[in-house]
Chains A and B, each alone.
Chain A
Amino acid sequence: MKRGQATIFIIGGVVLISFLVFFFLFKGKIIPPKLGSKETNPNLFLESCIEKKTKEAIKIMAPQGGYINPEFSFKFKFSDGDFQNISYLCYTQNYYIPCINQEPMLIEHLKKEIKDYIAEDVENCFDSFISDLKEQNYEVNSSYSGFDIELAPKKILVKIYGEIITEKTGETLKRENFEVRIPTKIYDLAIVAQEIISQEAEYCHFDQVGFMILNPKFELNKFKTGDSDIIYTIIDKDSKEEFRFAVRSCVIPPGM
């Protein structure tokens, strides 16, 4: 064996011993490397768990004027889909007069609808995350105190209030209040809807051309039914997400 080779072996040995010493010295305090994975990262876990349900809610609501179960609506079928209940967001049953805003706090309403729809799932997701952790031999102490929804441009934020304390091999970790971001344009579409409603309620009219010229990222379709209802469909050109609602305003009857 040459001298050089011996030196390399010695250095290697020192490194190995050092590593082992270091490992045994601090092994009880090290956070498991698994934390970045879905199984142990609550945000990632909850996001994957809640996103589907939230998107489902949006998919149901958006073509129905923002209602999961439309109450004040009518059935209508567009050629590219099935019959849908389209809610009136602004309505008057009288002739000539502007419509009355049926959902003046539209954003609040959307939050409530989504929240109600996913409420059970959020708690279930939280619980299944805890179960998963337990299955991974973590000792878990948790509490769930509900959640909130925030709508924002291009996203929905689901803020889950709760606390999770995990312990495994002597290591404890406390995490609280989780936030899930779900990309969607529902908020952006709803803001446009609210502007349309405001103008219909004030001026009996919304100018489609002006809007589309100034806001080319949206496509706005305006359809007048035989009953003088107007169905607005706002489409986000990038995501192809749609929001559809009906307005009945300043209806002019036949004859004089």
Chain B
Amino acid sequence: MMKKNILTTTVIFQIFLLAITVFANSYNLHSSDLIPVVSAEDSFSCCPKTNDGAICQDVSSDYSNCAEELLPTKCDYVAKCKLGCCIDEKEGLCTTNSPKGKCEEDGGIWQEDKNCNTFECQKGCCVLGEKVEFITEDRCNKLSLLFGFDKDFRDLETELECFALEKSQPEGACIFNGGVCKFTTESECRKLGGKFSEGNLCSKESLNTICERQASIGCVEGKDEIYWFDSCGNKENIYSSNKDASWNNGEVLKKEDSCGAGSSNINSKSCGNCNYFLGSKCAESSSGKARVDDGNFVCKNLNCIDENGKERVNGESWCVYDSFIGDGKDAVGSRHWKRMCINGEIKVEPCADYRGQICVQSNINGTGRNFSIAACVINEATKCLSYNSNQDMDSCRKNEYCVVKEINVDSGFQFDVCVGKYPKGFDLTGEEYLESRDMCGIASQKCEVLYVKDWKGHWKCKKNCNCESEEFSKQMNDLCISLGDCGSYINYIGDGTDNSDVENAPEIPWQDYKKFAEPVKGLYAEAKDIEEVLEVIKKDYRKDSNAKGQEKNSFAEGIKLLGTISSSTGSLISGLAWAGGSVKIIGAGQTIPSGAQVLGGSVVTGPAGGSSLVAGEGGTLVATKGAIGGQGLVGTTLGSVGAAAGGIGIGMTVGSFAAKAFGIKGNAATFLSLAGGIAGGIAGYGAFAYSAASTAAGGGAAGAAAGSSAAGGLGGISTFGGSSLFTGSFGPMMAAFAWAVIVVVVLAVVIKIIGWGDTKIVTVQFECMPWEAPLGGDNCNKCNDDPLKPCSKYRCESLGQACILLNEDTENPVCESLPKEDNPPVISTGEILDDLTFLNTGESKTEISEIGKKCITEFKPVLFSLNTDEYAQCKYSFEKTKNYDEMEQFPLEQNKFSKNHTFAFSIPSVDSLNTYNTIKNISEMFSEMNMYIRCQDVHGNYNKDEYTVHFCINSGPDITPPILVATNPKHNSYVKYGTKEIPAEIYLNEPSDCKYDTRDVSYEAMSHNMTCFTELLQLTDFGWKCSTTLKGFDKEENKFYIRCKDQPWLVNDSVKIVNEKTNETTYKTRNVNTESFIFTLKSSLNKLNITSISPKGEISGGFEPITVDLEVKTSGGANNGEATCYYKFSENETETLFFDTFSNIHKQTFNSMMSGNYKIWVRCEDDAGNIAEDTTEFELNLDTKPPIVVRVYSEDGKIRLITNEEAECYYDFDRCNFNFENASSMTNFFSKEHKIEKISGQTYYVKCKDIWGNYGNGCSIIIKTFS
């Protein structure tokens, strides 16, 4: 039977709201849907060509924009869409991530490695006369041929090394007949057929050329400096107004020996030694003022002045922010910007909007000045949440982009959450509102504050008292903000809105955060290390892109975890029994010693989290101690003292029982026990003294006997028994008992009246909602202010509800306000569940009823929507209010501005509420219910008069049986291989008792009872829960039949009710399901197996990095091996999701691996939770050795060669240092066997190269044949 609590009207409405929460959570599940346990990844299909013209796109299987037939697999498994490296042989170009079909169709050669880590695509330095290019060898061939140079391809690893080579090409005079001279490189001179004189200028007298020294000055393409030119137009040395010094006796003067070396010489009149890397370059003087003495040229300043007036060197990049950054407090609409100084001009690279990327900066301390490098890197905020799944706060703290939010409000409300240091922004249009709502909802938490009434009748806070303080709201709002664009916060111009709702604690206004609108000078996001920035610049973005798969996956984990935090925080607090034994608070590590223990003088450790020790038992323990105390006096004290001790024991026992009987707890119960003890003691002592005086015999024995018999659990009772048994002096004990009863009962009545020891829980609730922009559009144009910070949709929409971005498809989109108007939204009825209807709809009212009935059936889900003629935010209340702000409840859309507003509730039966003491007549209240609604548009216009939705709830007997709303695990899902039993939960629309069986029999005949939450307030997010352990998994498909019976508060199945006024007799009957809910769970027929992992063993690569494809195949399990696989490189690190998974083949490409030994741990899990684990070990070797000829022999008129590895061998008859291109091949493709026709008396110079292009300096072998 339910306890009777007093329910006020407010509490009744809260019950409605609890019911609304059910709908809010199941809103997106259709009513037939069951609780998803594992979110299934969307299945992919391949669209070879979309209607738009995009080729080879992975799309969802319901994609409707495909121009060709949708193929039910990922594009990587479709031959023509498989991605690889496309080689343009003619041009010597390689392109990554290219579809095979398109590549081959256009004449390319396609290779599997999509990152082009192949021999053909390795770049090196190609020297083309004075120039160098960092290109493939094939391209070098082409360009050398095109420009008429001998191929000069050098195996350099980086572009910078190659460019350095350009500077080191020796130059000199190239002299032709007749004294004609050209200043060039040796190779160029050779090409032109001149005579090269290295290190000399054409004007050098001893060369006898026709060229005169220093005839003019000018710039040279590809060079930084101003040069002198001779009369033939040849470049001479770097300009100096000291002509002789510059001419250097007709010899080449190195840059470092020229004037002003080591400085930029910006605007110098005398020196043209400009330095690109120091920020200057030769240019024609535009002003005429800044020019060198001998011509209209100048070392132009390429440096820039940044937004703070600081000089930035050419090539320097830095970060600019809109507002404060970090600590989870980036403002809504803010963006990270990378700025660069390039050739005297500041360029802007906006990092991905919605803070998808953050700008990180590293400073390099050079000689006397800082040089900063910035990069836009992926924001790992989502990954930060994944650390919560295993409470890995250490990893969180180590990740520069994450921050641990330490919630520490009170001993029972403390937990750590890992969140993004730079929270990501949300879509503010409302299109992704549900996702935003779920994410923000992580910070929607409850703290239960325990109050106990003292003897004066005042409520005293005992536990989690700080939750009612501003500190709770502040810490929770900080957490809320750090989850993204959530909570009461500001946009990047410092305007804000309140998007959190705090019950029973002070609200936190957004104005408290205004200071975060200003960026902090000198504060920038630091790269994890300089390598990260360099990696981005060096184009190594792979780590991050690989990490995204993990991030995506970790989201669910994060949500799951934070859900756990949420529920555990709530449940652990609700699990407190204030007067119980010491309660271990999970996560808090605190214990609350009970008053009883303190009084008892010993510490009793109660069960963890337990609430089993109640006040009465505490009293019993004290009583026992009292009895033992009495025993200690036996034989040493007078009989009267013994009788007193016995009386105390009896009295305390009586007190303890009385406390139980009256439902008195805590200090009041202890007080009652003590009072009983004292009364019993005095009475026992008095009665003994009186008895002794009157009988004058056997005095001391009674007390001794009383004490000695005190043993075991119920000391008082035993004492009492002992007394009677051994002494026969029944009177004192009876007196003690009688007095104790009288005193205790009187006191108990008094305690009950004043309520001493009563407890109440005050739930302090923080609701975190998605951030909404301020009303109106007054600030829209602030988005257009700064040309270096172009406006975007996100930035614009953060400035006001009425702000819209125009000209989005132009370089300069403009943020403008919608025209201002003063009309509030017009509310009209929208949709409603099929069996409900709107009636009597007027301008500002409507009624809802169940079709065919006057009122709505109790516990019936009510779901309807109202429409507004413009985008608006709505609120409602069940009581009338003066204005919009006074209303507190949002519809399911919460604070979103939309045109459809959904309202949902389910109202309990009158009977269920009558089990409580209510201060209103429920039947009366249910017969006339009004829901008042107001909506406010983007300009802040709201309905002065509320829109009223009228309805009534059936107040007659409940005649509908319970309905199953959801199950966990999901209906029709798989269970692990070998499962014999599993815990399961079902959720019902009303409190019920439930049973299940493996046979479809009546409720009464079902053999397994379920444990059900039957109290009205025990409503969970999905309804009233019943749990059990399902047994009997012996088939492939296991059916469990479930039936329930409602109204558990009724003692009998049918209760007769007589109306006192009318004498009418009715019956309340518990409704039972006559048809079973069939809950089906499928058994996994096999274990999930990893059937293969590759690579294993030894792998060779010709150069680093080496591309490695990790491939895992799975079979068995719940769904023919379909599983989700994860990998990690060490046992203790966090797992990463495979890039390609959710099938039975799982692939991950590592494209930047270096040589070494590797071990990879792989774990796969299917939908049923079957797990397969395995590892693979392999060694990556860098093959830099040329192939070796291990055998040569003659056979069938042919010379045959065997090499130790697959290779191509070529021969020449004259020399070893031949080019492969010009030589004859002995091999069909790559092979270990090579052959050539044998010619007698011939010498064969043979050179072999392996598939990585390794070959020796000389010949692999020289073969001489004899006639």
Residues of A bordering B, CB below 8 Å: 71-79, 83, 88, 90-94, 96-109, 152-153, 191, 194, 197-199, 201-210, 212-214, 216-217, 221-226, 228, 250-256
A76 in contact with B810 (CB, 8 Å)? yes
B221 in contact with A254 (CB, 8 Å)? no
Most chain B beta-carbon contacts within 10 A, residue among A72, A93, A101? A101
Residues in A whose Cβ lies below 8 Å from that of B347: 208, 221
Q: Enumerate the 4 nearest inter-chain pairs by beta-carbon distance, A residue then B residue, closest first.
A: A252-B356, A72-B53, A201-B97, A104-B98
Most chain B beta-carbon contacts within 10 A, residue among A93, A201, A223, A254? A254
CB-contact partner of B116 in A75, A97, A198, under 8 A: A198
Interface segment, one of B101-109, B688-696, B865-873: B101-109
Residue B424 at the A interface, CB < 8 A?
yes
Measured CA separation A217–B343 after assembly (Å): 11
Q: Would you mind naming 15 contact pairs between A and B with Cβ atoms under 8 Å apart?
A: A72-B52, A83-B809, A96-B545, A100-B56, A104-B102, A107-B90, A198-B94, A199-B96, A203-B539, A224-B353, A225-B808, A226-B813, A252-B356, A256-B439, A256-B558
Beyond A93-B57, A224-B352, A250-B548, 6 additional contacts (C-beta under 8 Å) are: A76-B809, A79-B812, A83-B809, A93-B50, A108-B106, A254-B354
Measured CA separation A76–B50 after assembly (Å): 21
B352 in contact with A255 (CB, 8 Å)? no
B1133-1184 residues at the A interface, CB under 8 angstroms? 1151
B93 in contact with A256 (CB, 8 Å)? no
Residues in B whose Cβ lies below 8 Å from that of A217: 221-222
B97 in contact with A99 (CB, 8 Å)? yes
| Distance (whole angstroms) from the CB of B915 to the closest CB of chain A | 43
| Distance (whole angstroms) from the CB of B88 to the closest CB of chain A | 6
Residue of B nearest to A77 (CB): B810
B537 in contact with A207 (CB, 8 Å)? yes
| Distance (whole angstroms) from the CB of B553 to the closest CB of chain A | 11
Residue of A nearest to B59 (CB): A93
Most chain A beta-carbon contacts within 10 A, residue among B93, B95, B276? B95
| Distance (whole angstroms) from the CB of B276 to the closest CB of chain A | 7
A255 in contact with B432 (CB, 8 Å)? yes
CB-contact partner of B545 in A75, A97, A197, under 8 A: A97
| Distance (whole angstroms) from the CB of B113 to the closest CB of chain A | 11
A71 in contact with B106 (CB, 8 Å)? no
| Distance (whole angstroms) from the CB of B563 to the closest CB of chain A | 14
Residues in A whose Cβ lies below 8 Å from that of B540: 203
Residues in A whose Cβ lies below 8 Å from that of B57: 91-94, 100
B106 in contact with A202 (CB, 8 Å)? no
Given contacts A208-B347, A209-B317, contact A96 B537 (CB under 8 A): no
B549 in contact with A96 (CB, 8 Å)? yes
A213 in contact with B342 (CB, 8 Å)? yes
Residues in A whose Cβ lies below 8 Å from that of B342: 208-209, 212-213
B356 in contact with A105 (CB, 8 Å)? no
CB-contact partner of A222 in B107, B108, B315, B349, under 8 A: B349
Measured CA separation A107–B793 after assembly (Å): 36
B424-458 residues at the A interface, CB under 8 angstroms? 424-427, 432, 435-436, 439
A256 in contact with B385 (CB, 8 Å)? yes
B interface residues, how many (CB within 8 angstroms): 95
Residues in A whose Cβ lies below 8 Å from that of B539: 199, 202-203, 205-207
Residues in B whose Cβ lies below 8 Å from that of A250: 541, 545, 548
Residue of A nearest to B373 (CB): A209
| Distance (whole angstroms) from the CB of B431 to the closest CB of chain A | 9
Measured CA separation A63–B116 after assembly (Å): 28
Residue B55 at the A interface, CB < 8 A?
yes
Residue B555 at the A interface, CB < 8 A?
yes
CB-contact partner of B793 in A74, A223, A226, under 8 A: A226
| Distance (whole angstroms) from the CB of B141 to the closest CB of chain A | 14
B53 in contact with A96 (CB, 8 Å)? no
Given contacts A109-B106, A217-B221, A252-B357, contact A202 B96 (CB under 8 A): yes
| Distance (whole angstroms) from the CB of B534 to the closest CB of chain A | 10
CB 8 Å contact bits of B64-103 with A (1 = contact, 0 = none) = 0000000000010000000100101011011111110011
CB 8 Å contact bits of B341-367 with A (1 = contact, 0 = none) = 011000101101110110000000000
B808 in contact with A226 (CB, 8 Å)? yes
| Distance (whole angstroms) from the CB of A109 to the closest CB of chain B | 7
| Distance (whole angstroms) from the CB of A229 to the closest CB of chain B | 10
Residues in A whose Cβ lies below 8 Å from that of B352: 224, 228, 251-252
B86 in contact with A105 (CB, 8 Å)? yes
B424 in contact with A96 (CB, 8 Å)? no
A194 in contact with B115 (CB, 8 Å)? no
B54 in contact with A105 (CB, 8 Å)? no
| Distance (whole angstroms) from the CB of B68 to the closest CB of chain A | 14
Measured CA separation A207–B381 after assembly (Å): 24
Residues in B whose Cβ lies below 8 Å from that of A205: 536, 539, 541
Residue of A nearest to B352 (CB): A252
A71 in contact with B350 (CB, 8 Å)? no
CB 8 Å contact bits of B407-437 with A (1 = contact, 0 = none) = 0000000000000000011110000100110
Residue B835 at the A interface, CB < 8 A?
no
Given contacts A108-B88, A252-B356, contact A212 B103 (CB under 8 A): no
| Distance (whole angstroms) from the CB of B495 to the closest CB of chain A | 20
Measured CA separation A201–B99 after assembly (Å): 12
Measured CA separation A188–B1038 after assembly (Å): 68
B378 in contact with A152 (CB, 8 Å)? no
Residue B518 at the A interface, CB < 8 A?
no
Given contacts A104-B106, A209-B317, A255-B439, contact A228 B809 (CB under 8 A): no
B108 in contact with A104 (CB, 8 Å)? yes
A152 in contact with B146 (CB, 8 Å)? yes
A214 in contact with B86 (CB, 8 Å)? no
Residue of B nearest to A223 (CB): B811
Residue of A nearest to B115 (CB): A202
Given contacts A109-B106, A256-B439, contact A101 B811 (CB under 8 A): no
Residue of A nearest to B106 (CB): A105
Given contacts A100-B56, A226-B805, contact A107 B426 (CB under 8 A): no
CB-contact partner of B99 in A101, A153, A213, A256, under 8 A: A101
Residue B542 at the A interface, CB < 8 A?
yes
A254 in contact with B426 (CB, 8 Å)? yes
B98 in contact with A101 (CB, 8 Å)? yes
| Distance (whole angstroms) from the CB of B382 to the closest CB of chain A | 5
B513-568 residues at the A interface, CB under 8 angstroms? 536-542, 544-545, 548-549, 551-552, 555, 558
Measured CA separation A75–B805 after assembly (Å): 17
Residues in A whose Cβ lies below 8 Å from that of B276: 213, 216
Residues in A whose Cβ lies below 8 Å from that of B552: 96
Measured CA separation A216–B219 after assembly (Å): 14
B163 in contact with A214 (CB, 8 Å)? yes
Residue B58 at the A interface, CB < 8 A?
yes
A101 in contact with B96 (CB, 8 Å)? yes
Measured CA separation A71–B427 after assembly (Å): 30
Measured CA separation A92–B55 after assembly (Å): 9
B95 in contact with A203 (CB, 8 Å)? no
Residues in B whose Cβ lies below 8 Å from that of A79: 810-812
Measured CA separation A209–B346 after assembly (Å): 11
CB-contact partner of A197 in B95, B116, B435, under 8 A: B95
Measured CA separation A51–B279 after assembly (Å): 40
Residue B281 at the A interface, CB < 8 A?
yes
CB 8 Å contact bits of B107-126 with A (1 = contact, 0 = none) = 11000001110000000000
Measured CA separation A251–B57 after assembly (Å): 14
Residue B630 at the A interface, CB < 8 A?
no
Given contacts A93-B54, A96-B552, contact A256 B103 (CB under 8 A): no
Measured CA separation A74–B558 after assembly (Å): 37
Residue B707 at the A interface, CB < 8 A?
no
| Distance (whole angstroms) from the CB of B264 to the closest CB of chain A | 15
Given contacts A101-B86, A198-B94, contact A78 B811 (CB under 8 A): yes
Residues in B whose Cβ lies below 8 Å from that of A103: 102
CB-contact partner of A104 in B75, B103, B483, B805, under 8 A: B103
Measured CA separation A42–B331 after assembly (Å): 68
Measured CA separation A71–B391 after assembly (Å): 50
Residue B718 at the A interface, CB < 8 A?
no
